[in-house]
Each structure stands twice: as C-alpha cells, then as structure tokens.
Amino acid sequence: MKKETKQIAAVAIVIAAVLLTGCVDQMSEMSADEIASMMEAKQAEIEDFSATMVVTSSYGGDDMTVRATMVTIPPDKSRVEYTEPAELTGMVMVTNGSTMWMYDPAKNQVTKMVLPVDMPSEMDYTQIVKALLDENDISLEGIEDVGGRSTYVLKATPKNETERGLFSNTRVWVDRENWMVLGMEMYDRDDNLISKAEYRDITFNTGIPDSEFIFEVPAGADVVETSLEDMVSKEMTLEDARANLTFDPKTPSYLPDGYVFDHAMLLGDLYGSEQEILSLKYTNGSGILHLRECVSDGSDQLKPAMGEPEIVEINGTDGEFTSMFGRNSLQWGADGIDYSLSGEFEQDELVKVAESLV
C-alpha cells in the first residue's frame, strides 16, 4: 500500500476512535437504544484519557495493522503518535484546540493548520454516538467477554442502503460496567470482515497536563502552513476544472443508463501530492461512477492500494481491473495520462465507458 493511502486510513482511524467512560450499576437487560443513550450521556464525565489503538484491516487479501498511542483532553486537545507500520512510525498529530500540527518524519516536514474559530469542538464521541443513532438501525446481538470484560454486542446497519459505501454493517463491543467501546468490526456487503479496531491500555481522568499538547518543531524540519479550506477540495464545473489544469481532460461519450455528470474536483492536495488529479463524478441519483485523470509521472498515483489486478484491453492498451468491497476499478494509461474508473459496475460496462473517452 502506498504511504499516502496509509496516512489517509490512519487519520480516518483517529476520527473514528470512539472511547467512552462512566460508571453505573451493571444491568442485565437493556435495549440497544437504551445502551446507546447511556453511552452518549456518559461523555460529560470524561476529563482526559489515554489509550493504544490497534486497527487491523484486510484489503484484497493483504493485511495491514496500524498502531498508535493517544492522549486526549476533550473536547479539542489531542496527541496521537504512530508506532506501526514502519511507514507511519514517528508520525505525530497534535491539536490544542486552535492549531493542528502534523509531522511526517519521512519528509521531515511539519504541516501547521490554524483551525477555524467557528469549528465545532465536539468532533469526538458525542457526535459519533449521535451519528450511530441517527444514521443506523441498532440491534442488540448479545453479551460477550472481551479481554475478561463483559460487553454488550451491538450491530449498526445504515438506514439508507445507498449510503452503505464500503462498510455494510458494523459490530460494536460496549463495556457493560463503564460504557466504553472496547472494539469495533466493520464488514462489507458480502459480510467479509474489512477492519477490526481494538482499544487497549485505556486510562481515564489521570490529570494529563496541557504540556502534552505543546508541539515542538523537530530540528531542521520544514514547516508548511495550510488551512482547512485548502485541504478540502471544492466541487466545481468541468469548465472551471479545465481552467485549473495543465492538461486537457477527456470525458466519456457513453455512460450507464440514467447516469449524468454531477461535478468535478481537484484532488492533488488530498493525496499528499503536488500532481494535478482531476475527479469527475457521474450519478443516477443513487449510484456513483468516478473517473479520475492525471498526468503520468510513474508514481502509480491512481492505482488501487491493494488487490490482485486482472489485465484487460482498452482501445488496444492494457489496463488493470480490480474488485474490492463490492466496487470495481479500472486503471490504464494513454497518451501520457493515467486514468482510473470505479463504480458498482461489471468489467464489461467499465471498459465500455473507458473506451468512449474523447
């Protein structure tokens, strides 16, 4: 897997790290909604916490483990340091509520981002628990022991079928004594386990000092300042995208039935690359077809991170077809441009779209 992909996955893991606390009398019978409501109510009792996150993911037959230690003072102070895999070891993310620093030791580069004043501070547990309730159907599957702890096992299934994306459902293990999440498992549409998260060595309310969230720039490191707006790609028309590119993008003359152009985005910054990456989104209202284009530079920027490809022919050029998580992808190059096409379509349909680019 490319390092940039692992970094994106690691950041997503931090955002999804739900650690909950509190202490109530153990109850033998509660509904799923009552358990979830209790989890949300206990957030106010967190003064600080620390933990080790261990996330194991499986993509296309390849496994990846991400391990990080974190200390947090809710709602807006945190420090996360990665210790595994080797590509991420030494990477640090620190926020003090007003500024975020991200250090990449491989580049010896620090990215500094001043956070907007009106940015919501509850970017952690309360929001995630509310989203769990609002966006999913919750069912109580039973009671299981995890590391010697008795837990409720909840199953969360997205209410909206079209919003399931890569994860079709999630199982969550909630400690019956202190209401923290001890683990999560995420499954694809075929009920294959994609990712498993565990939270170990958790401590609460130990008096973590504010000095933990003072970031010191390593000697000799370059400091790059950015903003949240710079890091979030904006939707635009194809004409606006063309005006910001040094190459002339192609568009399909054939689309699956009912599909029309939705919007364009420039994604280079999101991939941690100075390379121009154009993303075109086509939709029929529920399904999505993505086409991405960039100037070839030998970096395989648009290639999938994992999965064994099948060689297919596109207008006389060899391409690679990959299927993962119920989504299929097609990658190929032509006339100095790399292309990537993905969606929930069979190989023949993707090839037909690819061959129609003009």
Q: What is the pLDDT of residues 117-154, one digit of tens each?
A: 765 544 445 455 666 667 778 788 889 887 777 888 88
Q: What is the pLDDT of residue 162?
A: 55
Q: What is the pLDDT of residue 123?
A: 41
Q: What is the pLDDT of residue 214?
A: 95
**Residue the block writes with tokens 């401590």:** 203
| pTM, to two decimals | 0.63
Cα 9 to its chain centre, rounded Å, is: 5
Tell me if the bond preceding 309 is cis, omega within 30° of 0.
no
Q: Which among 327, 318, 317, 324 has a CA at the least distance from the CA of 349? A: 327
Domains of the chain by start residue, with CATH: 3-225 (2.50.20.10), 233-354 (3.40.1000.20)
Cα 106 to its chain centre, rounded Å, is: 21
Contacts of 241 (CB under 8 A, 6+ apart): 249, 264, 265, 266, 278
Sheet with 310-314, side-by-side order of all strands = 260-266, 278-283, 288-295, 337-343, 327-334, 317-324, 310-314
Rounded to whole angstroms, the Cα distance separating 255 from 251 reads 10
Q: What is the pLDDT of residue 1?
A: 40
Q: Please report which confidence band the pLDDT of residue 257 belongs to, taking 50, 70 and 90 as the band edges.
A: very high
Q: What is the pLDDT of residue 11?
A: 34
What is the distance between the terminal CA atoms of the chain, rounded to a whole angstrom? 31
Mean of pLDDT values over 241-254: 93
Rounded to whole angstroms, the Cα distance separating 264 from 92 reads 32
- Does pLDDT of 355 surpass 90? yes
Q: What is the pLDDT of residue 118?
A: 61
Mean of pLDDT values over 221-235: 79
pLDDT, tens digit, 9 for 90 and up, residues 27-49: 345 666 776 677 767 766 778 88
Contacts of 182 (CB under 8 A, 6+ apart): 146, 147, 149, 151, 173, 174, 175, 198, 199
Q: Please give the DSSP secondary-structure letter assigned to residue 236.
A: B
